[in-house]
Amino acid sequence: MPIALRACFGVALCLAACTAKAEWLAQTRSMMGTEIRVELWAENAERGSAAQQAVFDEVHRLDLMMNPMNPDSELSRINREAAQEPVVTTPEIVEVVQRALYYSDLSGGAFDITFASAGRLYDYRGHVKPSADALVQAAEKIDYHHLRLDPEAGSIAFDQPGMAIDLGGIAKGYAVDRGIAILRAAGITSAVVAAGGDSRVLGNLGDRPRVIGIRHPRKDGEYAALIPLQDTAISTSGDYERYFEEDGVRYHHIINPRTGGSAGGVQSASVIAPHGIDSDAMSTTVFVLGVEKGLAFINARPGVEAIIVDSEGRLHYSDGLLQE
C-alpha cells in the first residue's frame, strides 16, 4: 500500500479534481451522530444516484439498530434487558459485537464496548461529568468478560446489572464497509464512503490514488498529513469531536476502560487498515493505549499503519510509514 506523507493536520476528505469526462456524484446526509458522505464515479448518473441512496438507506438502517441514544433502537433494548436474560438480536449486532470482543482480547481490554457503563454518565453538550463516587461505581462495571455473546443463538447477555455497551468505536467503520459492499455490487469501481472520522476508499482517481487528510486536533482547517490511499480504510479517533473543558481539563468521549475517565496522552490516533470495522476499532485502541504501546500494537499487525498526534501535538508514525 503506497503511502506518502506531507506536513499538515486530522479525518477530512481531500479529493483531487476529476477529469472532464468522469461524472462524480457526491451527497452528504446526517446520520449516526455525524455526517455521512458518499462520493462515486458513475457512467450513468441515475444509476449512480440510486447506488448512493442505497448506501444511505443501509446506514440509516444500521443507525436505527445501533444508536444508543435512541430508546427504540435494538442496542437500547439490549442494554435494558440483557442483564435479566439473554437477548436474541440482529445478525449485524452479533457480527459487530463479535469483532469488538476480538479487539478487546487482542488489546488486553484497551478496547471495550462496555465502557458505556461509565460513558453514559457524561453529557458533553451539557458539560456534565459524573461525581468521583459515581465514576468509581460505574467503572467497576466495565469489563468485556461479563458480556456473553452466543453467535449460534444470536444472543447477548450481561453477567451483572448496570452494565451497558456502546458500539460507537466500531459501528461507523462497519457502516462504511457495508456502504462499499453495496457500491461494488452495483458495479461502482471508484468511490469513498465516509462517516465522520471513518472512511473507506474504493479504487482510485484513474491515474492516481485519492488523498485523505489527517485533521489537526487543535487547528480547524489544517491537516497533519496527506495520505494517498487506494482500496483501503482509514479511521481517526480524536479528543476534539465530543468534549468540554473544565478547570483546564478536557473531558472527551474516548473512555479509558480501566478508569471510566477520558483517555489521556493523545490528541488523535489514525489507523489505516483494509477494512473500516478494523481501522475504527484499532484507532480507538491506539488512542487508549497511548503512543508507545499503541505503536507497538500496530507494528505487530501486518498491513496496518498508524499516525498518532500526542498531547503536545507531536506526530508519531508506525514502522511501515517511517520506511516510505
**CA 135 vs CA 141, 228, 244, 252: distances in Å:** 10, 42, 17, 15
313 within domain boundaries? yes
10 is in an annotated binding site: no
| Confidence band, pLDDT 50/70/90 cuts, at residue 167 | very high
Asked whether residue 191 falls in the same domain as residue 257, the answer is yes
DSSP tag of 289 = H
Q: Is the pLDDT of residue 274 over 90?
A: yes
Region of poorest pLDDT, from 24-33, 79-88, 211-220: 211-220
Q: Which residue has the cell 484507532?
A: 283
Question: What per-residue confidence (pLDDT) applies to 258?
Answer: 94
Query: In terms of domains, do 140 and 198 share one?
Result: no
Same domain, 146 and 181: no
Q: Are residues 132 and 212 in the same domain?
A: no
Helix axes 276-289, 291-299, angle to 10 degrees: 140
Amino acid at 62: L
- Is 169 within a domain? no
C-beta atoms surrounding 37 within 10 Å: 19
Burial class (CB in 10 A: 0-12, 13-18, 19+), 248: exposed
Residue identified by cell 506531507 is 6
Q: Count CB neighbours of 1 within 10 A.
A: 17
Quick one: pLDDT at residue 224?
A: 84
Give the pLDDT mean for 132-155: 96
Give ∠ CA 95-1-40 in degrees, rounded to 5: 65
Do 117 and 35 lie in one domain? The reply is no
Per residue in 97-121, is it b (16+ CB within 10 Å) or e — as a string? bebbbebbebbebbbbbbbbbbbbb
- In the predicted model, is pLDDT for residue 13 greater than 90? no
The answer, yes or no, to whether residue 311 has pLDDT greater than 50, is yes
Q: How many domains does the structure of the chain reveal? A: 2
Residue 278, CA distances (Å) to 58, 89, 101, 109 in order: 19, 22, 12, 16
pTM more than 0.85: yes
CATH number at residue 269: 3.10.520.10
Residue 265 annotated as part of some ligand binding site: no
- Considering the domain boundaries, does residue 317 fall inside one? yes
211/316 same-domain check:
yes
What range does the domain containing 23 cover? 7-59+174-322
Give the least confident one: 41-55, 107-121, 162-176, 238-252: 238-252
pLDDT (tens digit per residue) in 122-132? 999 999 999 99
Please check whether residues 104 and 140 belong to one and the same domain: yes
pLDDT value of position 206: 67
* Mean local confidence (pLDDT), 280-301: 98
Average pLDDT, the chain: 91
| 114 marked ligand binding residue | no
**Residues 291 and 181 grouped into a single domain:** yes
Same domain (yes/no): 266, 134: no
Q: Are residues 78 and 133 in the same domain?
A: yes
pLDDT at 324: 63
DSSP character string of 162-200: T-----TTTHHHHHHHHHHHHHHHTT--SEEEEETTEEE
Please state, in angstroms and as integers, the Cα–Cα distance from residue 196 to each residue in 37, 72, 223, 234, 256, following that order.
8, 23, 15, 11, 21
pLDDT for the residue numbered 2? 41
* 135: nearest Cα among 260, 3, 37: 260
The confidence score (pLDDT) of residue 222 equals 87
Question: pLDDT tens across 16-30, in order?
Answer: 333 334 588 999 999
Predicted pLDDT at 15: 40
d(CA 161, CA 207): 56
